[in-house]
Amino acid sequence: MGKFKFIETSIKGVIIIEPTVFSDERGYFMETFHNKEFKEAGIDVLFVQDNQSKSKKGVLRGLHFQINNPQGKLVRVIKGEVFDVAVDLRRDSVTYGKWEGVKLSEENKKQFYVPEGFAHGFLVLSDIAEFTYKCTNFYDAEDEGGILWNDPNVGIEWPVDNIKEILLSDKDKQLKTLNETSTNFEG
């Protein structure tokens, strides 16, 4: 039996991953990545960089992508809870401009695979969240792109009911809509 359950979403290539968690009175153990099982599930990528961030409630990071050196990301939360989102930027895709979202938390231990050719972002729902992710390409500040988190044409349904204020970086406040953004990703 595999150690992961791979759940396909409405967007081809975007996958929710549920690891098998072994728990007892001492705590828990789980694998977060297994190359062979991920390959068998269609995630045949080489991860080259791991990142981690810590953010407070209401922080929204995104929606980011790299223009010429796109990154696929395997994301998870190790403390707290976030709403994580992928937006399809592949111009020839039948789901271009569509989004998929999932709540990731230290309790549910779900992971989210966001392939290359997608914008990615998340909103922190808990008081604090620690977010970690593996990337298929190296980060390049000169190659950054992004789309506005609340682009009405994308229509992401962010769970903002218990959020007093959305906290954005200055950079993210300047992002444009998908229609105003140029991408050359293929599906």
The residues annotated with a catalytic role in the active site are 64, 133
Backbone angles phi, psi at 121, to 5 degrees: -165, 170
Q: Give 167's strand partners.
A: 59
Cβ within 8 Å of residue 185, ≥6 positions away? 70, 89, 90, 91, 116, 117
d(CA 51, CA 157) in angstroms, rounded, equals 26
Backbone angles phi, psi at 186, to 5 degrees: -115, 155
- Which runs of E-coded beta strand occur in 35-126? 49-56, 60-66, 73-79, 81-88, 99-105, 111-114, 118-124
